A and B are shown apart, each in its own frame.
Chain A
């Protein structure tokens, strides 16, 4: 990758939409997708006929129980007689969809792109965790019957051991995010809780307790992304995509140093390079690190180089990442507070940054002035890192 200094057309986000995040939605996946898409179109003052291309993001087909899920979501996402494609990097898909839309626009192939991410996890029977029985290497791992929570528990344990963080410190992230989510109209698990509540909640796989984890959720989110010329016609305050980064580690999670997310660090460096950011810890004003687990937000803050390795948990204690802190993270409430419909959750984070950078986040608006923002998502077997850098 190199920086293209001859870039003719910058890429802008001009509209965003989101459904309520919920459990056991009655809407079909297509309906959820359209609800979010319609809100995004309306917010940009566009109709479906204005849209050139559609990019869909959705994680495992098995959640919705649909083979060729992109094709199934097609008409619900507005892809009627339009170029439509579905990109897929596991849990990292949410942030990856706008990245893919970026090159749809930056290449000059499309002018106005509708970006849709949808996930409906509730119908999986008996529990969505069962879908994760089929993500392992079919020869080496699957016969052992592993569970996704186990390997994340190992990662959390490793982070605690390497960095000296305690469960009480990590639980602060869950407290912060669930509190932030109280102001989010789409939130599923917003709550005013204490560290004690987290520690006393049911232990799923030690050291992961129930309140350390984001919930099973149904929902969808959407963005409208356009070229610079089109954006100037639509809005006075477009949000620019300054950089994109994505990396896939190999699938051998057991061979890695789990305390530091290298997959994310590489992706972040790529995105920062494209955005011309040299000191992210100083230049980034607000961040939406991916937080399906509370330790994961700390992990990702370090991977994004917003804090030194092993120091994020100390800063959380000081309130550094609060909504009125030095560097607010997950002002939306994140996955822990708003909910985790996998791909839609990642796109919700980008939508939140869009609203923050336009000062449209209402009660969620961070206190400090914001100019540059970063979001990331994480997926597959702890191996996918996707990063997007935005500015206003």
Chain B
């Protein structure tokens, strides 16, 4: 009956950080700040009103062997049902969605944070993610080479040129100028990007997202509670996540594609009772590498295969275009917040849909798509479809 048919909505959000460094707070302080703001935003008391708490983090990013220990207290979940998802924040949203859909839980909060500024040896942590038998023995390999290989294969397949990749960076870096969370936005033009040297071929430093610190907390609720708690709930129409293959089996990855985006998108669209291409007003799409935005647009079926770079060239993906993509500036402007990256994109989509995006607010947006990837060297992606 009613309970299972209930929709799931975002009813509150809080964030802290989006800065290259946050020396004045510990990661627990950041979690507390974002969570306290989210609960205030949803006007609830976490000790009474939240039925389950989800935290998303990975041990080695935190430098703690069992980082889950430090999850409950800052987010209000001590002695309450709390758990950690070792994955991106959007996976946490998927867990919250499922928890609410069981009918046992009314209100669930999801927190994720990243504090890369405190990681002294980021390159070495990345090395630990590489396959210990086949890849790690290649000494001092830059793990981002995976993205370079995918970029070249993508360009070859679709006919996108290096200029198109640079255009993504120019669009997103400039979009970020009107976003308060976009620490890495800058006014650059195409020539500037093209004239800088390659960082990972075929991408320059401007086409690879830097890191920033942030903590983000979302409060989700079922339909009854959502209507009680807020006047403008944002509904999660569908959410999907998928893994193409493990990090130790790169030979099964289809280079130049990202099949996990397609599987995740199909899962989300099916949940939303949509067939194929959904009509969305804007999208917050993975862009920690410039080519990824074009690739993810095609894989999520928002645009036809091989068309993304043509639309970009025509200006269709600009903020005033036919399909605004990354009006916030994306990860290229906001940085990558480790496991909170997915939530940072969800945050932008939520603010757009509730009309609170400030200077980069789009007009008349009713439905948006969020797509995020867990980054090199994984093949896991998440897609969320939101509407008001």
The answer to whether B79 and A108 have CB atoms under 8 Å apart is no
- Kindly list chain B residues whose C-beta atoms are within 8 Å of the C-beta of A7: 102-103
Given contacts A4-B102, A85-B94, A270-B81, contact A70 B86 (CB under 8 A): yes
Interface string of B221-256 (1 = CB under 8 A from A): 000000000000000000011111111110010000
Chain A residues, Cβ within 8 Å of B77: 248
Docked-complex contact B69 and A90, CB < 8 angstroms = yes
Q: Please, which residues of chain A bring their CB within 8 A of the CB of B97?
A: 107, 109
A8, A84, A96, A262: the one contacting B79 at CB < 8 Å is A262
Name B54's closest neighbour in chain A (CB-CB).
A87
Task: Report the separation of the CA atoms of residues A142 and B260 in the bound assembly, to the nearest whole angstrom.
Answer: 39
Cβ of B304 to closest chain A Cβ, rounded Å: 22
In Å, the complex CA distance between A80 and B244 comes to 5
Kindly name the residue among A6, A65, A76, A107 whose own CB sees the greatest number of chain B CB atoms within 10 A.
A107
From B88, which residue of chain A is reached at the shortest CB distance? A85
Q: Is the CB of A107 within 8 A of B79?
A: no
Contact A108 B101, beta carbon cutoff 8 Å: yes
Residue picked from A3, A103, A266, A381, most chain B C-beta under 10 Å:
A103
Within 8 A of B (CB), among A80-120: 80-90, 96, 100, 102-104, 106-109
Tell whether, in the assembled complex, residue A70 and residue B87 are in contact, meaning their CB atoms are under 8 Å apart. yes
Q: Which of A55-63, A162-170, A196-204, A290-298 contacts B (4 or more CB under 8 A)?
A: A55-63
A54 shortest CB reach to chain B, Å = 8
- B1 is an interface residue with CB less than 8 A from chain A: yes
Interface size class of B (residues with CB under 8 A): 35 or more
Which of chain A's residues 107-154 have a Cβ closer than 8 Å to chain B? 107-109, 131-135, 137-139
- Interface residue A69 (Cβ < 8 Å from any Cβ of B): yes
A82 to B125, CA, bound (A): 26
CB distance from A343 to the nearest CB of B (A): 11
Q: Which residues of A contact B4 (CB under 8 A)?
A: 6, 8, 108
Residues in B whose Cβ lies below 8 Å from that of A54 = 243
User: Is A86 a contact of B244 with CB atoms below 8 Å?
Assistant: no
B68 at the interface (CB under 8 A from A): yes
Q: Are B68 and A88 in contact (CB under 8 A)?
A: yes
Task: Find chain B residues with CB under 8 A from A3 CB.
Answer: 104
B83 at the interface (CB under 8 A from A): yes
In the complex, are the beta carbons of B79 and A266 less than 8 A apart? yes
B190 within 8 A of A: no
Partner of B52 from the list A1, A108, A384 (CB cut-off 8 Å) is A1
Task: Give the residues in chain A near B263, CB-CB below 8 Å.
Answer: 81-83
- Residue numbers in B under 8 Å from A73 (CB-CB): 246
Contact partner of A249 (CB less than 8 A), chosen from B1, B78, B252, B260, is B78
Taking CB atoms, residues of chain B closer than 8 Å to A4 are 3, 102-104
The B72-106 residues at the A interface (CB cut-off 8 A) are 72-73, 77-87, 91, 94-95, 97-106
Measured CB to CB, the nearest residue on chain B to A104 is B98
Give the docked Cα–Cα distance between A133 and B63 (Å).
Answer: 11
Q: Contact at A76–B132, with CB atoms within 8 Å?
A: no
Total contacting residues, chain A, CB less than 8 A: 74
B21 at the interface (CB under 8 A from A): no
Closest residue of chain A to B3, judged by CB?
Answer: A6
The answer to whether A71 and B68 touch (CB under 8 A), given A80-B244, A247-B80, A250-B78, is no
| 8 Å CB contact of B59 from A61, A71, A106 | A61
Given contacts A249-B79, A383-B69, contact A85 B91 (CB under 8 A): yes
Partner of B129, one of A66, A90, A102, A139: A66
Q: Are A71 and B85 in contact (CB under 8 A)?
A: no
Contact of B246 among A6, A67, A72, A100 (CB under 8 A): A72
Q: How far is the CA of A248 from the CA of B86 in the complex (A)?
A: 16
Q: Is A321 an interface residue (CB 8 A)?
A: no
* Chain A residues, CB < 8 A from B271: 109
Which residues of chain B are within 8 angstroms of A88 by Cβ–Cβ distance? 68, 83-86
**A71 lies within 8 A of B98 (CB):** no
Q: A89-B83, A108-B101, A134-B63 are in contact. Are A76 and B246 (CB under 8 A)?
A: yes
- Rounded to whole Å, the gap between the CB of A143 and the closest CB of chain B is 14
What CA separation (Å) do A99 and B259 show in the bound complex? 28
> Which B residue sits closest to A56, measured CB to CB?
B86
Inter-subunit contact B248/A75 (CB<8 Å) = yes
CA distance A246 to B72 in the complex (A): 12
A71 touches B246 (CB 8 A): yes
Whether B68 pairs with A89 at a CB distance below 8 angstroms is yes
CA distance A251 to B97 in the complex (A): 27
Complex CA gap A311/B70 in Å reads: 32
B69 and A71 form a contact (CB under 8 A): no
Interface: A155 (CB within 8 A): no
A97 and B64 CA atoms in complex are apart in Å by: 21
The residues of B that contact A263 with a CB separation of less than 8 Å are 79
Residues of chain B within 8 A of A68, CB atoms compared: 58, 60, 86, 129, 247, 374, 378
**How distant is B79 from chain A, measured CB to nearest CB, in Å?**
6
Q: CA A54 – CA B51 in complex, angstroms? A: 24
CB proximity of A274 to chain B, nearest CB, Å: 7
Q: Which residues of B contact A106 (CB under 8 A)?
A: 98, 101-104
Q: How far is the CA of A81 from the CA of B299 in the complex (A)?
A: 14
By a CB distance below 8 angstroms, the chain B residues around A107 are: 97-102
Across-interface contacts of B91 in A (CB, < 8 A) = 85
Supposing A71-B243, A81-B244 touch, asked if A96 and B125 sit within 8 A by C-beta, the answer is: no
A6:B103 contact, CB within 8 angstroms = yes
Q: Which residues of A contact B3 (CB under 8 A)?
A: 4, 6
Which residues on the A side are within 8 Å of B95 (C-beta)? Answer: 85, 87, 100, 103
Bound CA–CA A132/B64 (angstroms): 9
| Docked-complex contact B87 and A85, CB < 8 angstroms | yes
Tell me the smallest distance from the CB of A220 to a CB of chain B, in Å: 14
Chain A residues contacting B1 (CB-CB under 8 Å) are 6
Q: Known interface pairs A65-B128, A104-B98, A108-B4. Does A85 touch B85 (Cβ–Cβ under 8 Å)?
A: yes
Asked if residues A96 and B83 are in contact (CB atoms below 8 Å), the reply is yes
Check B64–A250 contact: CB distance below 8 A. Answer: no
Please name all residues of chain B whose beta carbon is closer than 8 Å to the beta carbon of A246 when the two chains form the complex: 81-83
Closest 3 CB pairs of A and B: A4-B103, A74-B246, A107-B101
15 A-B pairs, CB-CB below 8 angstroms?
A4-B102, A7-B102, A7-B103, A54-B243, A61-B128, A67-B60, A67-B129, A70-B86, A72-B246, A75-B246, A82-B243, A84-B380, A104-B98, A106-B104, A263-B79
Known: A88-B84, A267-B81. 13 other contacts (CB 8 A): A66-B129, A68-B60, A69-B86, A71-B374, A81-B245, A84-B243, A85-B94, A88-B83, A103-B99, A107-B98, A138-B63, A248-B83, A249-B79
Q: Which residues of B contact A (CB under 8 A)?
A: 1-4, 26, 51-52, 58-60, 63-66, 68-73, 77-87, 91, 94-95, 97-106, 125-126, 128-129, 131-133, 240-249, 252, 259-260, 263-264, 267, 271, 374, 377-380
